[in-house]
């Protein structure tokens, strides 16, 4: 799974590096969080199709799902594009998808968003319990993107789902954490995968604009930074019974 893809630099980095990573690791499934893929906030149809064409199998989103309004009709048309499952039930799109590999193995992907320090949504723990219970009737291999601000909320979700899902992988904060591990009952976990985007930035954005926001507390339009990029990801190995056997971080510095 690739961390949050930020703007055009992130999309171009995915297009450049993912074919090589596929050749090296031969993954059964590639997931990417794309909620920042268009201009640094939200995703468009074109941005989503660019990631899918580059070799991403499933795209997860987060709190910026609806920032670009043209995604609303497309998210109903493209089953591989997920919005958080604990959004209100009447909104477009879906919160999970079952992907079938070339070998016929079914792998479920679930997208959730946290509530701590974020906009109010339905309880992700209740939704996770219900959704994972239904998906386990289809496949024991389940990957969860827990898109949240609070590290405690991400960790709590992993403990809650330990032994019920293959992995709980954190996104949203764009900073890769060094706490990857396998939980006691076989669930892989990391608090945050990181991002795919500009290296010389603050979370992918031009530093001076973010600094000005902190100093003045005035409204500020952020812009995606330029320059060299980084691709952060995790590789998870798992067994047919859904138990993870290893999780490893990747952090690849790309050139201009």
pLDDT digit string, tens, across residues 86-114:
999 899 999 999 999 999 999 999 999 99
What ranges do the domains of the chain cover?
A: 4-254
Instruction: Determine the pLDDT at residue 167.
Output: 98
Closest CA to 131 of 172, 161, 99: 161
Digit-coded pLDDT (tens) for 217-231: 998 889 999 999 999
**pTM of this prediction?**
0.96
For residue 202, name the pLDDT band (cuts at 50, 70, 90).
Answer: very high
172 is catalytic: no
- Out of 3.60.21.10, 3.10.20.30, 3.20.20.220, 3.30.470.20, the CATH code matching 4-254 is 3.60.21.10
Digit-coded pLDDT (tens) for 7-63: 999 999 999 999 999 999 999 999 999 999 999 999 999 999 999 999 999 999 999
- Catalytic residue from among 64, 147, 172, 174: 64
């Amino acid at each position: 799974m690739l961390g949050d893809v930020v703007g055009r630099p992130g999309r171009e980095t995915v297009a450049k590096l993912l074919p090589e990573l596929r050749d090296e690791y031969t993954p059964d499934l590639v997931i990417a969080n794309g909620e920042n893929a268009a201009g640094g906030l939200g995703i468009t149809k074109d941005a989503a199709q660019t990631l899918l064409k580059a070799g991403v199998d499933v795209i997860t989103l987060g709190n910026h799902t609806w920032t670009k309004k043209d995604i609303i009709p497309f998210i109903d048309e493209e089953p591989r594009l997920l919005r958080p499952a604990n959004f209100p039930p009447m909104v477009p799109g879906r919160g999970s998808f079952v992907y079938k590999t070339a070998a016929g193995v079914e792998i479920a992907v679930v997208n959730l968003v946290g509530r701590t320090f974020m906009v109010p949504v339905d309880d992700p723990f209740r939704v996770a319990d219900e959704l994972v219970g239904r998906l386990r009737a289809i496949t024991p291999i389940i990957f969860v993107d827990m898109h949240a601000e609070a590290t405690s909320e991400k960790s709590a979700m992993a403990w809650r789902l330990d032994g019920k899902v293959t992995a709980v992988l954190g996104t949203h904060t764009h900073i890769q954490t060094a706490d990857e591990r396998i939980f006691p009952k076989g669930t892989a976990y990391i608090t945050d995968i990181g991002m795919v985007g500009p290296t010389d930035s603050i979370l992918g954005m031009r530093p001076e604009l973010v600094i000005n926001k902190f100093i003045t507390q005035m409204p500020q339009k952020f812009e995606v930074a330029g320059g060299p990029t980084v691709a952060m990801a995790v590789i998870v190995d798992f067994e047919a019974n859904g138990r993870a056997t290893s999780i490893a971080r990747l952090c690849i510095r790309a050139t201009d």
